[in-house]
Amino acid sequence: MDRSTLQRHSPWLLPVVLLAGVGIAVWPALQVLFSRWQKFDESYSHGFLVLVVCVVLSVRKWRIVRPVNGFYPAWLFPLALAAAVYLAGSVLFVEAFQQIAMVPLFLSLLLLIWGWRQASAFFLPVGLLIFAIPVWDYLSWPLQLITVAVNQLLLSALGIDFTVEGVFVYFPGVGAFEIAHGCSGLRYLLVGLTISTIYAELSYQRLTERVILLVAGALLAMVANWIRVFVIIYVGYESNMTSSLIWEHDYFGWWVFAGTLVPLFVLARYLEHRQEQRPASPAGTVLPGNNGGMKAWFSLIPALAFVTLAWAVESSTAEADYTGSDRHGFELLPSEQWLPLFSGSLGGWQPVTQQPDLESTGVFVERDELQPGQAQPEYYVGLFTYNQQRPGSEVVQYANRLYDADLLLPQQTFTVPAGSGTTLSGLALKYRQSESRVYLAYGYYVESFWQDDELRAKLAQLPGIFNNRSDASLLVIGVRCDACDGKASLERLAPLVRERVENRLDERFGTAGTN
């Protein structure tokens, strides 16, 4: 059977071979993606379901359109551009580049063999995957701030006494709430966009109805999160922080989200009745001279070139499996003044970090403060370094947390001067089972620049493309005491620790910029 006969009887074979080949090329990135989909407490746990829906909708669309294979060389440029972005992500260990390039890679291949008229019908079924790709985390911080602003408005309307600092809401004499990453509403937003897009694909022909439903789905998903957070905060305030809803609010959130689907589907049904009926678009229209025969199989050449390049780059940049953290090997604090203790935490508190390449931690007391028979302030210093950020080993990731929310409650935020124009973020925490407090100062040293919040630390990875640094570190300083001024203690200690850490990291990794 020659290729022309094969194409007539099995027109699906060429696109399947091309997509499978590119799937093999990007398999390392797909493995990282699948691992994120398996984390059910994150915003992308709907990923496998989206993948199944994507395949089903694509097959459904193929049965309607019946595209005829051809070769459209004009689409080699967007294919090469998407491939270059993916390969740059592999070389530079910028995971976001790899993930963001995958959908354009698949769509460019379809354009290469089907042209615009046919391939455009598959943009939505294949593009649905974008709602399951972890590039949306950069929206988390703005969504947190919006959620705080909305709740500030609602609490003010009720005449409740409270103050707001960043993403923390404080109730005098009651406690504090942190509008953390999980309270941003990103998970609800992505699920709402996914549901709206699927419904629009199945029910609408016109772009107007699709856009209206998509905007409504996004707005209602955010409203669901605002309601959820407000109810939790209000119940916590009224119950003096004793309600079980404060700690077990996941199911409650999904019930609220389900409630917002009712008006969404009412609107969807209305739009379905409103839209004008249009005849279905003709299937399989191709340009003369481009379809059939040997020409369609020319698309295998650029696909094979990408597969070869991707695996060559992957082999040259492959990292050894993580086997455990090594030590920085330097004194966090000068031993003539600071006495190390045989402890790794302050009363059970210590930061949680995943797979750092280098770390140094210690709990200390100051020799000059030692008094017989008296409780002494204890100081914690921790430095966690990633030589090169990569999937599963990043200084800012969901699994890295400053404190365990089951053990401690946030009480106050503040800034801590650390010398040379650098400031660290400050956070006061209270143990749930006692009145004891821990005061923290923390910052991120990314490629020779200090950052005092997670979003800036995440974005600071990008300049690594243009310099010789690719390291990222988290510095955490903590103090626990009953009688001392925790903030003042941090302000006294932070410049000393910051300078020692900065010198050590610059000595090890070189200097790529000025602070």
**371 & 399 share domain:** yes
Same domain as 9, residue 131: yes
What pLDDT is attached to residue 317?
Answer: 60
Does some domain include residue 459? Answer: yes
The verdict on 379 and 491 lying in the same domain is yes
Residues 84 and 177 in one domain: no
The alpha-carbon radius of gyration of the chain (Å, integer) is: 27
Is residue 514, in this structure, part of any structural domain at all? no
Residue 29, domain member (yes or no):
yes
Assess whether 101 and 14 both reside in one domain. Answer: yes
Classify residue 289: in a domain, yes or no: no
Q: Write down which residue in 241, 274, 307 finishes a domain.
A: 274
Among residues 210, 239, 274, which one ends one of the domains?
Answer: 274
Beta-bridged to residue 382, according to DSSP, are 361, 476
Cβ neighbors of 457 (< 8 A, separation 6 or more) are 395, 396, 444, 446, 451, 472
Per-residue pLDDT, 277 = 53
Alpha-carbon span 225 to 236, nearest angstrom: 16
Residue 264 resides in a domain: yes
Nearest to 127 by CA among 215, 192, 213, 198: 198
Identify residue 94 by its one-letter amino acid code: V
Residues 6+ apart with CB under 8 A from 483: none
pLDDT in tens, the chain (515 residues): 444 554 555 677 888 888 888 888 888 888 888 888 988 777 888 999 999 999 999 999 988 888 888 888 899 999 999 999 888 887 766 777 888 899 999 999 999 999 899 899 999 999 999 999 988 887 888 898 899 999 999 999 988 888 887 777 888 877 778 787 778 889 999 999 999 999 998 888 888 899 999 999 999 999 999 999 999 888 888 887 777 776 666 778 888 999 999 999 999 998 888 775 554 444 444 444 444 556 777 777 887 888 787 777 776 665 545 556 688 888 888 888 888 888 778 878 889 888 888 999 988 888 776 666 566 788 999 999 988 776 667 788 777 888 887 788 787 888 999 988 899 999 888 887 777 889 999 999 998 889 988 878 877 776 655 667 788 999 999 998 877 788 999 999 999 999 999 999 999 887 654 44
Give the CA count within 13 Å in the CB-facing half-sphere of 135: 15
CA angle 452/181/457 to nearest 5° reads 25
53 and 104 inside one domain = yes
- Contact between 382 and 364 (Cβ < 8 Å): no
- With CA atoms as reference, report the closest residue to 15 among 61, 94, 54, 69: 69
Q: Residue 281: inside a domain, yes or no?
A: no
What is the full DSSP assignment across 112-158? HHHHHHHHGGGHHHHHGGGGGSTTGGGGHHHHHHHHHHHHHHHHHHT
- Domains held by the chain: number: 3
Same domain, 265 and 335: no
| 248, 261: one domain | yes
- Would you state the pLDDT for residue 1? 46
143 and 129 inside one domain = no
Tell whether 232 and 163 lie within a shared domain: yes
Q: Which among 240, 274, 308 is the end of a domain?
A: 274
Same-domain check for residues 348 and 474? yes
Q: Give residue 454's domain range.
A: 327-509
Same domain for 491 and 358, yes or no, is yes
In a domain, residue 288? The reply is: no
Interstrand relation of 358-366 and 326-327 (parallel, antiparallel or unpaired): parallel
Maximum Cα–Cα distance across the chain: 94
In a domain, 283, yes or no: no
